[in-house]
Amino acid sequence: MTAGVRLVILGRQGAGKGTQCTRLSRHYVVPHISTGEMLRAAVKEGTELGRKAAEIMNDGGLVPDDVMIGIVDERLDHDDTTRRGYILDGFPRTVPQAKALAEITDARRLDLVIDLDVPKAIVLQRLASRRVCADCGANYSVDKPPRYDWVCDDCGGEVEQREDDTPAAIEKRLADYERETAPLIDWYRDMGLLDVVDGLASANEVSLRLFAVIDLRRGS
Ligand code: AMP
């Protein structure tokens, strides 16, 4: 079996992180840890975290750092991640989160951080037409719908527009990304951990680009 990997994926909302992380997770046999998915699951279940996060998420805001750090710290302690690694999608999103992650992973350092780069004008179009499965998170779009009447091809769940894919929330999330998350690109570059991958190609082509940079870093 291929070696695992400890990976962070950065990139604007709509860059294709969700789709690519699902593929990377299958390829390297490590869990895909999406903080957005974890929060959406908590909202659906109506947990205390979900109730607190729902309003912030719908407005396109960021859930407080201490809450997010606690969630990720706990998740990275599970056996599946300590054995083979993980792919973090949506975390870290701020400098305090990145600093906390460095501490959490001190004993088992990150292999690399990838910036999946897609220009803002393109992600704006993608987000406006994006549709997702409410159950498994699979991604579709108005141009590439599921085969049958907005029923997920993978799990049979209902495919719908995300509540935070409204024009106002999209604008806010992208502004937050430039202000809070984009500085992490230089931060990780200075640490010698960053690779930039051009995300403007077919999903298959982007996956091949990702496999290539990851395998090069791991020397495999
Ligand atoms: P995503 O699916 O990654 O776009 O995340 C959806 C929403 O969840 C974001 O717009 C935030 O409200 C919240 N969220 C997810 N990850 C984080 C994080 N690391 N820090 C703060 N908020 C987050």
Alpha carbon of 220 to ligand 1 centroid (Å) = 32
CATH number for domain 6-215, candidates 3.30.70.360, 1.10.1740.10, 3.40.50.300, 3.40.190.10? 3.40.50.300
The structural domains of the chain, with segments of one domain joined by +, span 6-215
* Claim: this prediction has a pTM higher than 0.95: no
CA 6 to chain centre: 14
Best CA proximity match to 85, nearest among 21, 36, 17, 28: 28
pLDDT band at 218 (very low <50, low <70, confident <90, very high): confident
Distance CA 32, CA 69 (A): 17
For ligand 1, say whether the CB of 132 is within 6 Å of any of its atoms.
no
Atom of ligand 1 at shortest distance to CA of 91? Answer: 19
For the segment 37-53, the average pLDDT, to the nearest whole number, is: 94
pLDDT-derived band at 220, boundaries 50, 70, 90: low
Place of tokens 């729902």: 54
Is 35 a pocket residue for ligand 1 (Cβ < 6 Å)? yes
Can you say how many angstroms the Cα of residue 19 is from the centroid of all Cα atoms in its chain? 9
Residue nearest atom 8 in ligand 1 by C-alpha distance: 36
What does the alpha-carbon distance between residue 168 and residue 184 come to, in Å, rounded to a whole number? 24
Q: pLDDT tens for residues 145-161?
A: 999 999 999 999 999 99
CB neighbours of 133 closer than 8 A, spacing ≥ 6?
Answer: 139, 140, 152, 154, 155, 157, 158, 159
What is the per-residue pLDDT for 219? Answer: 78
Distances in Å between the Cα of 27 and the Cα atoms of 3, 189, 217 are 10, 25, 16
Token output for 19: 């789709």
Per-residue pLDDT reduced to its tens digit, 9-19: 999 999 999 99
Give me ligand 1 centre to Cα 29, in Å: 24
**Residue 132's pLDDT is what?**
94
Nearest CA to ligand 1 atom 14: 36
Tokens for 85? 């690694």
Atom of ligand 1 nearest to the CA of 39: 8
Going by pLDDT thresholds of 50, 70 and 90, the confidence category of residue 40 is very high
Peptide bond between residue 92 and the one before it cis (omega within 30 degrees of 0) = yes
State the residue for tokens 């895909």: 32
Pocket test for ligand 1, best of 57, 71, 97 (most atoms within 8 A of CB): 57
